[in-house]
Structure 1
Amino acid sequence: MTIQQILTFLSAKGLLHEDEAFTIAGGEEAASISLTLPHLLILKDVTEEEKAILSSRLSMLYEKESTLILLSSEGRIRRLTMGEFRHDLGKEPFLFLFDSRKASGKEPTPFTLSPLEETMDMLLAPGGCPWDRAQDHRSLRTYFLQEVYEVIDAIDKDDMENLKEELGDVLLQIVFHARLAEKEGFFTMQDVVDGINEKMIRRHPFVFEKITVEETKKLLGDWETRKRLEKNRKYLLSGVSKDLPSLLLACIIQRKVGSHGLTEALEDGALSASCAEEIKAAVDGKGAVDKELSVGRFLFALDRVIHAEGVEPELALHRYARYVMDQLRAFEKGLFQRGKSLMDISPEEAQVLWQDFCRKTDTSVLP
């Protein structure tokens, strides 16, 4: 159907009159839709990303119970509420017809942190909240960690309303720390925002600069190396916090050493071939959720076995992960003395040099 055919069809159905003003928008206009004209037609050339933007934008402009009209490519018409519309975005409609006169009547307020910053200033000012005024970066540490875990819990429950609230709690912690730092003369909230924005642009030259496909592939492959150079980090695990939960810490260590061919060398035969095959067989051919459940079952059983030996698994894994970090740092120091680094040598050479390091220091990965 052409645009004229669409308009004729809508007029015949009494949904649009010839003397009424309207505007036509495609996917590119999704983020800038306004209420300047009574009617708005959203045509079918909307990508998945633009649909998400469009849904968010229109949900701000239109009340939840506002009525809109969906016209399919077969000419079928359905009336939907704004709430129902958000669920229909993924069904590839031909177009939507909105009556702006039923919208909320005002443009959404531009995003700003100012209200939250002003509230925090009042809390921290003389005569403000005694508890807030008594806090420092270290005393807030536990609360920040707690809020992050509550965000994760909301994500796991797929509870969007709770996620909105918990993200707000995390944002409060960020503003709190930034305001304390500003009072101490270190940095401001604007410095925080500018810093992360500049970092994202700097680390994504394949998005913000004109480079070839081959250059893009190389940049993606050198992600960890570029981060280390940017931060002037001398060691492979520089910047990795030893205070992370033990299993997460172990995962990060293995991911970072994996690109240098040292994963199996660090395991040092700790996992028998039969056990590894048993785990592989348990997850083979299963979907993502079932794989997680199967592996979780192994970890759950392993926890019981370890506890039966009088050992706390969390502490044991954490101690071993920290030991591996110390061993790797000693190994890298030896490489530096020989004019080498893990960034300069191949995975094969790294494995040979690691074995040489273990022999010369009379140590292995196991303490």
Structure 2
Amino acid sequence: MGSIKVVGLGPGDFGYITMESWELMQGAENLYLRTAKHPTVPMLAERGISFATYDSFYEEAEDFAHLYQRIADDLIAKAQSGIDIVYAVPGSPMVAEKTVVLLREKAAGLAGRADEVKLDILPGMSFVEVLYGKLGIDPIDGLTIIDAEDFASLPVDMPTGLVVTQVYNRQIASDAKLSLMEVLPDEYPVTYIHKLGMPDESIREIPLYELDRQPDIDYLTSLYIRPYPKKPEFDITPLQDIIKTLREPGGCPWDIAQTHESIRRNLIEETYEVLEAIDLEDYDLLCEELGDLLMQVVFHARMAEEAGEFSMQDVVEGVTEKLVRRHPHVFGDVQAADAGSALISWEAVKKEEKKDRKSLLDGVPKDLPALMAAQKLQGKAAKAGFDWEAPEPVWDKIHEELAELKEAVAEGDAGHIAEELGDVLFTIVNLARFLKADSEMALLGCNQKFRSRFSFVEQKVREQGGSWQDFTLAQLDEYWNEAKRQQGKPIQ
């Protein structure tokens, strides 16, 4: 059997060829070059070195994968016929050289057989070593090297610098650009490298989107892209770990003592604090309050996990699956042209999921704020057809309920008064539905308005240096009207 010795032609300049490689090429009876398109090749010819090349294979191959495979197959076949070969590749045999990878695989597969081939790969200098010096890169920080034809191996998060070799032509440059744009911004700066290590080398920074527009793209073109670490993905584990530690023996006595029931009010309070942050349009506060609310969710999930009921992962997976199910117009084949159609689709799926509900009014939590619950109950009844067709009868109903409230007040029965007052409020919520208003939000807005105006009155009282008892109601009412004027509200 013959043998194959693989040597490197270095990154460009003749002086980068190692002495061992040069001596092997000088004494080789059968020297094969992967390609003659390399700056050192004319210098080999000048020094009387005879060689053959695989350039004709380039013209016949349908793509680079088949090209490299055919070259490796041919070299193995020649060696199996008894020929000793010196095979020279651009750069270093061990850096981004696909034919050498294939040769190693094939030689390993033949080991121990009668037709095995002895393969030796000599160390050589690659363009990467030159690149380190030119760009000031320390490889200890990590470096990824890929062939321009092999972007399937491109890391998603680009944690290290990336060298792209063998950007042969404009088409490959275009393909490389499109692949990189899936990971990087279009204008991300990349280092375009041409004729590295040669007297007329060009190293320049260009925006990624201009990669395939460079005028000098050829077989001596490569790229360097500095690290582009992806932002860490969302991870709730640290919060889960803290809650777990607080609940474990040796943790916080208060946290250990809690149950779902004991902290249910906390969940409600945190929810309203989130709503307040939204109303204030204070996004720093909103971020903080959402964290507090999330902590409550994780706390309940932790207690459930301790009891063997469910885990936080079950919570996340459950809501994820529900969202997919209830959006068949997004994740399925149902069509929804607008928001109204999307809502109809959502309700249809939800109705199918809730077949076990016995009443049309099921699904309204008993602990909802009263106005919100009233509006939801009325909305469910309306979907069944139990509703007025226009707002006019609602106005009449309000007057009717007010009259009944007055009668109850005249009677002096506290229980009856509360009942009739509830009827008035319930009917007003009905009017809100017809007016396309949210009764809960309307009252919240009114509360905020009252808080703001009352704070103004408080400030005026403090400025006068007195106490509330020192002011008449008329004086306080004037301050109130001043607050209304400042808010642009006409005085009635």
Q: Structure 1 length normalisation: TM-score?
A: 0.47
- Richer in helix (by share): 1
Q: Structure 2 length normalisation: TM-score?
A: 0.36
Larger Rg: 2
